[in-house]
Amino acid sequence: KQEVTQIPAALSVPEGENLVLNCSFTDSAIYNLQWFRQDPGKGLTSLLLIQSSQREQTSGRLNASLDKSSGRSTLYIAASQPGDSATYLCAVLMDSSYKLIFGSGTRLLVRP
C-alpha cells in the first residue's frame, strides 16, 4: 500500500530565505507526482506536476524535483515571501489506478 509522508509538518522561516519541503513515498510505481498549495478554508491549487519520466519542473520561484528510485520529491521555494504562507501538499498518482494518494502536508509560515 502506497504511503506518502511529508516532513516537516510545520515550518517557520523569515522572509527572503530559500527553503525545501520534502515528500517521500513507499511505492515507486507512480505515474506522476503533483504539488499543491492550500490556503486556510480554500481548495487546493496545483503548483507543479512531474511525470514519472521527468526529474524536475520549474515555475517561477518554485522548483520541484523527483527521484523515483529513492521515493523522494522536494519542493524548493526561492526567496520566500509572506504570501507563500500556506499548507503545501504532495500527492502521487499510482500507475494502477486513477487515484491520488496525498501526504498530510507541510504548514509553512513566512515571517515578515
In terms of CB distance, is 83 or 98 closer to other proteins? 98
Figure out which of the listed residues 29, 79, 104, 111 binds other proteins, where binding follows CB under 8 A. 104
DSSP state of 53: T
Distance, CA of 53 to CA of 14 (rounded, Å): 35
In terms of CB distance, is 45 or 58 closer to other proteins? 45
Question: DSSP 3-state helix, strand, coil percentages of the chain (rounded to 5)?
Answer: 5, 60, 40
Check: CB of residue 80 under 8 Å from CB of residue 29.
Answer: no
Figure out which of the listed residues 21, 23, 93, 110 binds other proteins, where binding follows CB under 8 A. 93
21-29, 36-44, 63-71, 72-80 -> range binding other proteins (CB under 8 A): 36-44
